[in-house]
Amino acid sequence: MTENSNQQNNLDKGIGGSPKNLMIPFLLLSLRGGFGLHGYKLIQQLTQLGFSSIDQGNVYRLLRQLEKDSLVKSEWDTSSSGPAKRIYSITDAGLEYLDLWAESLEQYQSMLDSFFNMYSNMFMPFVPKGKKEDPEPK
């Protein structure tokens, strides 16, 4: 089995075809800018992108797993005062994996759009453009 097939299988392990760990594409996308970032900065970006409760330990474990899978690489930055910081950057394999995520999420978004269109039509009556809904009697 090829590496891309393994990566695609990892995407498919979610429930009902939904991506299993949405943090992965956000981390890879944050690293996509070509600038190395340390873990704390990545956690800040995840928070800004809408991840409300983040277990920092999980983020660092995920980064180590991504590095083990050759999707990210890291090196120690000792240029600033204070303790050394591990700086993460995306690899070429990580860029390919991010593309797989984008394709998968695009399909998932289409499914979600269909769901919410159906949901809205069931619970909100259709009002043609130009026609106002009759006010409820008082």
Structural domain spans, the chain: 3-109
CATH class for the domain made up of 3-109: mainly alpha
- Strand 72-77 and strand 37-38: pairing? unpaired
pLDDT of residue 16: 45
Cβ partners under 8 Å of residue 31, min gap 6 = 37, 42, 72, 88, 89, 90, 94
Beta strands in 12-131 (DSSP E): 37-38, 72-77, 85-90
pLDDT of residue 9: 55
- The alpha carbon dihedral of 43, 44, 45, 48 has a sign of positive
Query: What's the Rg (C-alpha) of the chain?
Result: 21
Element (H, E) at 26: helix 23-31
CA angle, corner 18, sides to 34 and 55, nearest 5? 60
pTM (global) more than 0.85: no
pLDDT of residue 53: 85
Residue-by-residue pLDDT tens, the chain, 138 positions? 455 555 555 554 443 444 568 899 999 999 998 678 999 999 999 999 888 888 999 999 999 999 999 999 999 988 888 888 999 999 999 999 999 999 999 998 999 999 999 988 888 766 667 666 666 665
